[in-house]
Structure 1
């Protein structure tokens, strides 16, 4: 009797393990990340506490191409082509161990949703807009090969995904014969101020063989009264997420790309404008008070190309011309700056997950009217003390 009971318990335990294993087989959770660190040379870097004195700067920096990060992503098969999905992603600096994104635990992305193999994916949380999803892959910056150092001035068009949308609901379709589209809305989460720091985005892309094209739009709605600013809405200012501060912000653009094997050539045009501007993202943070005017706008024109000399070795380059206009409080403080920026890169892959790179960027600004906000400035590095700057980085990147 006792022996039979023991056998029954043993069989029950084995059955439970088998059932648990079968259930687990329909779910997956993946730990992923990137670690990117390099040595950087900058010319004319501003001396601490001064906007006019500059010196050469040699430093170690994290994330010269890809921001160092780690995260968890997962899915659960719910049957009928439907899956539950989630994504939690944290950014950090490898050279100091410090958290990025103002210390947010999952400041890069944090969302949960449902994915349909027939229609698309619906997600809720802190997410990227469709300039990032559709247009950025055709650029040298962002999800392109040139990475962070190749971003456009102040990342004014968000192709380098420095801005995320909090409190957002987003739908991205599956591909229908090469065509994809999506739309999203981000809530202000502020009682009585539905449109004060809310945002929305939409976009579409099309692929046919080696040819790709995409277009997208983003708008951030904000009050023009600084005293009524909502700092924790769709675009938070407390964690350095905002590219500009002030009134409404609009970003739109389009790109095309042609691939031949691993190599590619691309062209991008983007436009951005912020009304009643009070600050702009420079040197890794949004400097409120650096600009005060009725508007600031940018048009970015980029050509880029990457050629694989060998399956493990590539050469890449991009040229970006940016025109700007700033409406100051007076005619004397207004400006029409324009930027010329050249990037060149050599990248060697030891494996599909580990590479070393050498990348250089030269930027020159004209027409800044003496405003330090219009000095040369490359990614989140120390801005220049004048209208030009050279940055050279050699580093190593590992993906897992």
Structure 2
């Protein structure tokens, strides 16, 4: 649930094609030295500071708070590049997220929680990277809100952050074997091929680094993509192994499928995506997520909107009875650009839970049932934010 700056490496690697206008989302890449062309060799410091005021309400309880990361994840990073000659470059990236309202680290268990990799990039043979990095799920820019960990219905419904009586988990309403591919994968080895006729592919393998675990992989996957300068089409397939909750080294394979399309002329952005999550454990359910989004830039202004629907099949309630489980989300946004690096934003959205669905929105826990740790059913968390950001 952590945001990459506007677009992943995938889109830029495919080139700009012959489009008449520069894609709108491509202009936002200037915040990253990896993509903006300013760093041919050496090391660059970059980052974002994002602060806002947020109002949330769910189940009759409301909260007003300052909040970091409403438009961009607050972060700082180092990107380095060395020209080795013959079209070959050595590269590395170290990136850490933080909370601008408190100064705390975004992840208390990992300092470099967003990027920590080293690799080689060849203009002829492609790119290979080793370390913590973005995986082979659908690229984060398929969500018009950038899969930010706060104001994005796609983030919360797509990754399915579900609250249960035992706490919070990804797709945990599907059953004991369900999990999710994280936005950034530990121990990852990735290879991105050169582009041919607009096509390229990325492969990933991430070992678990746990002795005696079978299989040895924690995740593996592939992404196929095509880009002509205006239209981006991608399909992904990933296998992720999650614990069954019984302890030991027992794991369950989850098959994750994704398909996405982005049409970006520079004057309008249209986006659509489909995801399916299927744990391979008896009696576990399957989730499918459908997403539509748009960005309409007008001068310094940009208007955003997305709708997300998550439906499931084969799920069971706590008494092991078949149950209905679905949710619908909407997010609206407005941006005003003060400069290439600074802007103001407004966000408003909700998620409506149906049946036994208990999906969160913007980190605000759902109220619990009287005398129980189980969350209330049929809730509709709502969030509204105003904020500003500065990229450096």
Alignment TM-score, normalising by the size of structure 2: 0.76
1:98-137 equivalences in 2 (<5 Å): 98-133=104-139, 136-137=140-141
Cα deviations by residue, 1:93-149 (Å, 9 ceiling, x for unpaired): 11111112233110111000110011211010111112143xx32222436899645
Is 1:193 aligned to residue 213 of structure 2? yes
Query: How many angstroms apart in 1 are the aligned matches of 2:58 and 2:243?
Result: 37
Counterpart contact for 1:345–1:360, Cα < 8 Å: yes
The equivalent position to 1:381 in structure 2, one of 364, 367, 380, is 364
Counterpart contact for 2:200–2:226, Cα < 8 Å: yes
Matched residue pairs, number?
328
> Structure 1 residue 210: deviation in Å?
1.6
Counterpart contact for 1:37–1:396, Cα < 8 Å: yes
Query: How many angstroms apart in 2 are the aligned matches of 1:274 and 1:86?
Result: 34
Counterpart contact for 1:128–1:161, Cα < 8 Å: no
Structure ranking higher in helix proportion: 1
Cα deviations by residue, 1:166-213 (Å, 9 ceiling, x for unpaired): 111110123223212110100111222251562101101111242211
> Structure 1 residue 151: deviation in Å?
1.9
> Structure 1 residue 164: deviation in Å?
2.4
Q: Which gives a bigger RCO, structure 1 or 2 (Cα 8 Å, sep 6+)?
A: 2
Residue 238 (structure 1) aligns with: none
Greater radius of gyration (CA): 1
Cα distance change, pair 95–325 in 1 and its aligned pair in 2 (3 A)? farther
1:158-197 equivalences in 2 (<5 Å): 162-195=182-215
The root-mean-square deviation of aligned C-alpha atoms, in Å, is: 2.8
1:1-400 equivalences in 2 (<5 Å): 27-44=41-58, 54-133=60-139, 136-142=140-146, 148=152, 150-153=154-157, 155-156=159-160, 162-195=182-215, 198-222=218-242, 224=244, 226-229=246-249, 247-276=252-281, 294-309=283-298, 311-325=299-313, 327-328=315-316, 332-368=320-356, 374-383=357-366, 386-400=378-392
Counterpart contact for 1:65–1:149, Cα < 8 Å: no
Query: How many angstroms apart in 1 are the aligned matches of 2:283 and 2:351?
Result: 26
Alignment TM-score, normalising by the size of structure 1: 0.75
Which runs of 5 or more residues in structure 1 are unaligned? 1-24, 46-53, 231-245, 277-292, 369-373
Counterpart contact for 2:154–2:291, Cα < 8 Å: no
Query: How many angstroms apart in 2 are the aligned matches of 1:270 and 1:154?
Result: 7
Cα distance change, pair 332–186 in 1 and its aligned pair in 2 (3 A)? closer
Cα distance change, pair 140–147 in 1 and its aligned pair in 2 (3 A)? farther
Query: How many angstroms apart in 1 are the aligned matches of 2:41 and 2:183?
Result: 31
Q: Secondary structure at the match of 2:226?
A: strand
Cα distance change, pair 87–77 in 1 and its aligned pair in 2 (3 A)? same
Cα distance change, pair 154–315 in 1 and its aligned pair in 2 (3 A)? closer
Q: Secondary structure at the match of 1:118?
A: coil
Which runs of 5 or more residues in structure 2 are unaligned? 1-38, 162-169, 171-179, 368-375
Cα distance change, pair 71–192 in 1 and its aligned pair in 2 (3 A)? same
Cα distance change, pair 255–221 in 1 and its aligned pair in 2 (3 A)? same
> Structure 1 residue 228: deviation in Å?
1.1
Counterpart contact for 2:149–2:362, Cα < 8 Å: no
